[in-house]
Structure 1
Amino acid sequence: MGTAGALVYCTRRLQASRSGSGLALARGNAIQCKQEARSDARRDSLVAAARNPELEQQIIAAPDDVQAYLVYGDWLQARGDPRGALIAAQHALLDDPESPPLRETERLLIEEHARELGGPTLDVEPAPQMRWQLGFWRALRCGSFGWSAKPWHDEHVQALLEHDSARFVRELAADGLFTGAVLATVGDKHQTLRSLDVALRAGEQFDDDSLAPLRACTRLRRLALFSCDAVTDRGMQVLRALDELEQIDLRNHPLSDAGVACLSAAPLQEVFFNELARGFSSAGMAGLARLPLRKLDLSCGPSIGDEHLRQLAGHATIDDLALPGAGFGEQGARALATLALARLYVPSSAIGDAGVAQLPRCLRSVDLGHCRLSDAACAALACMADLEQLRLDGSAGVTGGGVRQLAALGRLRTLCLGFCELDDQDIEPLGDLESIETLGLAFNNLTEASVDMLARMPRLHTLDLASCALSEDAIDRLARSASLRYVGLYSCPSEAIARAEGVDGWSVYRRDTLELMD
């Protein structure tokens, strides 16, 4: 019995075990499958990889059609190609993903036929990560953010994409010491590639010429490129061919009005740019407003003003808007009031109390960190009955009166009030917020007098008390909380930190303030 036969045998015996033969029989079948498959592994590994262009085109045309893979799998098995057995095994796993015999068969096939199925041997760190789909790699991740002793280079990605298992790859994420030419390695995958995410490091940049191979990738739905500083409007012309593109993130590319025009043919739902070209005008924003956007992130600082936001007024689909550091005020906020926003991310912006009063009441998540707001803003926010996440860090104008108004938000799960100069009496109203799960109170004027109130909050699992004057006794009292799991104690007394690190079930953060909102 060959590898494919062993798989069929294993599957049949698994079905028998379900009908009452018992778990022991299923385990025995897995062992027998392993032995039989290994006995034929040497013979199978000598079989050259079979190819059928006609059947491959059927998969390319309909990459989610399971039947197309099964037909190809039968054809491969008839020719002794172990990939056919892998297709059958992974198809069976779709119906029973937790089956130990099937998982063992899948693992065994890939292990014993590593050359044909598992990919080339590469001297890199970290090793590539693959997600399989019916005998082939659906998604590949190459490299990772951060330093590596054995970083990824262009040739490593090329070797991986040239492997037979990458024949129908749909998602590629790569982060390493690449050059802009790395995009040329995806050229042969233009018929199947749907998502491309590439980050260059060590000062390398994409330029107009390096984007040229993307012109053939007309089925791309997501494109994210890090280090696009040298891409000009000429390079952006390539994007006109990507008429299925739904998400774009061109990090460090200075978006211009002409660049926006290059996006007009795509059904873009998510757009991210962190730089704007000098002279980016309301006409450019109007071009973005004509897209079927759901999420717009222009992390471009004060160059976004009221006139830009007026172009978004009445947009039918935007529900997630990020404009950190933007220079808009009350008039721009009035335009936002016409949107059905669920999330608004505008930290360090010029929105002001009057602008907050104009925001739509349907918001569920609002980041107003370091916007220098006062209790007047809290009064407006208290009218947002659906609010679940709120950041007001760095607003010294917020007092106990403002906190008392926020305590009326019965659905609030995350509240960040760091750097607001609040004292123990100011935060007392928070004890009535039974919905709170995450609370940031870093760098306020708090003492251990607030600890008992915090320990009684029934759902609180994450608490940042950085720079709070806590004693060991205060930690013991805080530990009475039945729900608390993550505690930030940066810049707190060392004795308190040591006591907290001994509390069973706690994770203590002592080197920085906690990141509390998405």
Structure 2
Amino acid sequence: MVLIEVEGRVSVPHTLELHLRREPDDVDAWSVYADWLSEQGDARGELISLSHRLAEPGLPQEQHSALRLRSRALIQRHLPAWRDGLELPRGCRLDWRDGFIVGVRLLWDGDTLDALATLRAHPTARLLAALEIDCRIGGRRLGNQGAQRLAASSALQGLAQLDLGAAQIGNAGVEALVHAGWIEQLRALDLSHNRIGPAGVEALASAGSLGQLRELRLSHNRVRVAGVEALAASTTLEQLRALDLSSNPLGTAGLAALGSSPLLAHLIELDLSRTYDAPGEDHVKALAHVGLGGLGGLGGLGGLGGLVVLRLRDNLVRRGGLEALACTGGLPRLVRLDLGDNQIHDGLDVLLSGATFPRLVHLGLRHNHLGAQGPEALARSGALPALQHLDLSGNYIGDEGLVTLASSALLPRLRELSLSDNELGPGGLAALASALGPVKILDLSWNHLGDDGASILARCTALQELESLSLSRTGIGPEGAAALARSGALGHLVRLDLSHAPIGPAGAEALAHALALGRLEVLGLRGTAVGDAGVTALAGSHTLGALTRLDLTRVGVGSEGIRALADAEALPHLTEVTLTHNEIGRAARKALSTTLAPRRRPGRWALGAAPGVDDGIVRPGVDTGARR
């Protein structure tokens, strides 16, 4: 094992750190590293061990809470030392893992590569593996010349993930990148939104330097048929496991080329969303005639039989397309299937009666105009024995459909359920509440629930393990908010969204005194008219001490309420407050920013216009960097 000196104090296993950059999901390697760190007296060893314990399934809630508190305490105690000497440019965003910087987003300008080199020299960044060059917000386009500069730079040596989305490097930029000295170490490459055509794809497909690449994302480009043919014929991308070709006009001919490629045999994730090229064509039905691995004999072929994730969103899929998919007999290893934003209507029964998906855990069916027939098909089907996550948003199933779904054997198994925008009322919600299992994520936004619906939820004992509840635009008022606040069933709630529900100051005051919401970390109150009185009540809450993020967009709060937040001692973990579209004085904003800054801890914080303030978002300012 190769050893190197770090901080002039101890030696570390360099090859192990290199392995962790390339294989960040190797839990055993992290455990070895944690043991080594602990031997050196480094608190990050304990932090890694805590993360592993928190990820254990079936961990009792009390133990989970204690471990999280210990993790937070370690971070707060040691973060100043870990960050010592960090100099971050404007717009820099850091991704942290157990006290180490593992990813960075940088705006592209003349100093980007120097900033990257400086960051990588910092001891806390020795596990830095992922780089995103942000050309979308505030940064300049990379272009061909920028791609050439990247290719020639040694600052990218050893990185495993590179995201150049929206950099507009074009075909010439791709040609430059594939000849870079560091490119052969990449495991993941995102070139979405880059004006890449067939010539650029051919350069990628034929590059011997990409032999270790496992993930390639080419969405929103100009790939076309010739580009897919180049990918299909590639003999150098044998390690590829994830391929994203979404939002490219591939059409039937392009998918025919892909369907005949041995490349598919190795894929576990494939995204072909919005790849049709002819208005009115049923894209999946067309695939039946060309084979997307056959789609007429898919179940028995080596082609897509190994897929774990398949996304076919927004592909004009109709009943005929589902008949074609059903002819496969099912995809035996599929865990996630996304058919959202299509035109399925009454065709779901065709798929579920003709195919089985024994391992499918996630099923996305949003915005398919299923109506009440969709839940009927799901209730009758035995094709989804492992399903735990179901998205039926925007399907207008109504109370009738929800009652049908509630009567099925499917519902008690669900751990995540999205029913947003389905014309639901208290009647359907009552049926749902009586049949739910131990769901963890529930989205009921954009429905007509009102205070009666909130009261039904408050009495639902099945919500005792619920961690996230979305009730945005459901018409819940002060009485409904008070009912939720009194509920003993929401004790595990971590995220609550009441945006655009007219709860007013009285509703906010009820939430501020909610004994059951002691674990709440994220509270969305956008557009709830809570005003200064409501915000002041929240600031004085002695039951919301775990709160870290608070959205107060357009709530009618002024300087009085914000000063109450700034002076509050009852919310010690609050690190981010969104204040957009409120009339707040500069002094009050500054006071709140000053209060939040000392609480900063490693996280994924967005671009900041100045330390602590971003278009009304007040948060710690160090990770965002100050303007030069």
Note closer, same or farther for the CA distance 1:192–1:482 as it changes in structure 2 (3 Å cut): closer
Does 1:503 pair with 2:593?
A: yes
Which of 553, 556, 562 is the equivalent residue of 1:475?
A: 562
Instruction: Note the C-alpha offset of 1:493.
Output: 1.0
The one-letter code matched in structure 1 to 2:499 is: G
Instruction: Note the C-alpha offset of 1:404.
Output: 2.4
Which of 307, 332, 335 is the equivalent residue of 2:408?
A: 335
**What's 1:441 paired with?**
525
Which of 310, 313, 318 is the equivalent residue of 2:379?
A: 310
Note closer, same or farther for the CA distance 1:494–1:127 as it changes in structure 2 (3 Å cut): farther
Does 1:184 pair with 2:229?
A: yes
Instruction: Note the C-alpha offset of 1:264.
Output: 3.1
**What's 1:454 paired with?**
538
Q: How many residues align?
A: 416
Q: Deviations over 1:141-178 (max 9, x none)?
A: 24234xx6xx3333223213322222353322113432
Instruction: Note the C-alpha offset of 1:450.
Output: 1.8
Which of 305, 329, 345 is the equivalent residue of 1:243?
A: 305
* Native 8 Å contact 1:393 1:417 kept in 2: yes
Q: Deviations over 1:341-370 (max 9, x none)?
A: 111112111333233333313111111111
* Native 8 Å contact 2:211 2:238 kept in 1: no
* Native 8 Å contact 2:396 2:423 kept in 1: yes
1:79-94 paired onto structure 2 within 5 Å: none
Instruction: Note the C-alpha offset of 1:491.
Output: 2.0
Alignment partners' CA distance in 2, 1:257 and 1:322: 18
Note closer, same or farther for the CA distance 1:374–1:509 as it changes in structure 2 (3 Å cut): farther
Q: Deviations over 1:362-400 (max 9, x none)?
A: 111111111111334334433210011101111114542
Q: Which moved more, 1:295-304 or 1:122-131?
A: 122-131
Note closer, same or farther for the CA distance 1:232–1:423 as it changes in structure 2 (3 Å cut): closer
Instruction: Note the C-alpha offset of 1:323.
Output: 1.2
Alignment partners' CA distance in 2, 1:349 and 1:262: 30
**What's 2:147 paired with?**
none
* Native 8 Å contact 1:441 1:465 kept in 2: yes
Alignment partners' CA distance in 1, 2:453 and 2:156: 64
Note closer, same or farther for the CA distance 1:270–1:26 as it changes in structure 2 (3 Å cut): closer
1:197-276 paired onto structure 2 within 5 Å: 197-200=244-247, 204-215=248-259, 216=261, 217-230=264-277, 231-236=283-288, 237-239=291-293, 240=298, 241-255=303-317, 256-266=321-331, 267-274=333-340, 275-276=342-343
Which of 213, 219, 223 is the equivalent residue of 1:169?
A: 213
**What's 2:189 paired with?**
141
**What's 1:87 paired with?**
none
Instruction: Note the C-alpha offset of 1:207.
Output: 0.9
* Native 8 Å contact 2:212 2:239 kept in 1: yes
Does 1:404 pair with 2:404?
A: no
Instruction: Note the C-alpha offset of 1:471.
Output: 2.3
* Native 8 Å contact 1:389 1:412 kept in 2: yes
**What's 2:97 paired with?**
none
Q: Deviations over 1:163-221 (max 9, x none)?
A: 22223533221134323222222222475432111233xxx522111012323222221
Does 1:391 pair with 2:470?
A: yes
**What's 1:372 paired with?**
448
Alignment partners' CA distance in 2, 1:282 and 1:492: 49
* Native 8 Å contact 1:313 1:338 kept in 2: no
Alignment partners' CA distance in 2, 1:494 and 1:312: 55
The one-letter code matched in structure 2 to 1:463 is: L
Tell me which of the two structures has the higher relative contact order, counting C-alpha pairs closer than 8 angstroms and 6 or more residues apart: 2
Alignment partners' CA distance in 2, 1:336 and 1:376: 26
Instruction: Note the C-alpha offset of 1:427.
Output: 2.9
Note closer, same or farther for the CA distance 1:508–1:372 as it changes in structure 2 (3 Å cut): farther
Does 1:294 pair with 2:361?
A: yes
Q: Deviations over 1:51-106 (max 9, x none)?
A: xxxxxxxxxxxxx9xxxxxxxxxxxxxxxxxxxxxxxxxxxxxxxx9999xx89x9
Instruction: Note the C-alpha offset of 1:130.
Output: 12
The one-letter code matched in structure 2 to 1:460 is: L
Note closer, same or farther for the CA distance 1:405–1:24 as it changes in structure 2 (3 Å cut): closer
* Native 8 Å contact 1:475 1:500 kept in 2: no
Q: Which moved more, 1:271-280 or 1:185-194?
A: 185-194
Q: Which moved more, 1:413-422 or 1:330-339?
A: 330-339
Instruction: Note the C-alpha offset of 1:510.
Output: 4.3
Does 1:124 pair with 2:173?
A: yes
Q: Deviations over 1:420-446 (max 9, x none)?
A: 211211232312222111111121232
Does 1:353 pair with 2:420?
A: no
Note closer, same or farther for the CA distance 1:281–1:26 as it changes in structure 2 (3 Å cut): closer
**What's 2:29 paired with?**
none
The one-letter code matched in structure 2 to 1:394 is: R
**What's 2:99 paired with?**
none
Alignment partners' CA distance in 1, 2:464 and 2:560: 38
Name the TM-score, length of structure 1 as normaliser.
Answer: 0.69
* Native 8 Å contact 1:130 1:140 kept in 2: no
Q: Which of these two proteins has the greater Rg computed from alpha carbons?
A: 1
The one-letter code matched in structure 2 to 1:461 is: T
The one-letter code matched in structure 1 to 2:187 is: A
Alignment partners' CA distance in 2, 1:350 and 1:261: 30
1:285 aligns to what SS in structure 2?
helix
Note closer, same or farther for the CA distance 1:496–1:437 as it changes in structure 2 (3 Å cut): farther
**What's 2:77 paired with?**
none
* Native 8 Å contact 2:557 2:584 kept in 1: no
2:507 aligns to what SS in structure 1?
coil
The one-letter code matched in structure 2 to 1:416 is: D
The one-letter code matched in structure 1 to 2:347 is: F
Instruction: Note the C-alpha offset of 1:232.
Output: 4.3
Alignment partners' CA distance in 2, 1:404 and 1:126: 61
Q: Which moved more, 1:327-336 or 1:412-421?
A: 327-336
* Native 8 Å contact 1:309 1:336 kept in 2: no
Q: Deviations over 1:457-509 (max 9, x none)?
A: 21112111222222212211112242222222222114379725862236556
1:36-115 paired onto structure 2 within 5 Å: 111=154
1:354 aligns to what SS in structure 2?
helix
Does 1:463 pair with 2:550?
A: yes
Instruction: Note the C-alpha offset of 1:302.
Output: 2.8
Instruction: Note the C-alpha offset of 1:296.
Output: 0.3
Which of 505, 508, 531 is the equivalent residue of 1:424?
A: 505
* Native 8 Å contact 2:412 2:438 kept in 1: no
The one-letter code matched in structure 2 to 1:364 is: K
Which of 482, 485, 491 is the equivalent residue of 2:581?
A: 491
Instruction: Note the C-alpha offset of 1:415.
Output: 0.7
Alignment gaps of 5+ in structure 2: 15-25, 27-101, 103-119, 130-151, 163-168, 278-282, 598-611, 620-628
* Native 8 Å contact 1:489 1:509 kept in 2: no
1:175 aligns to what SS in structure 2?
coil
Identity %: 21
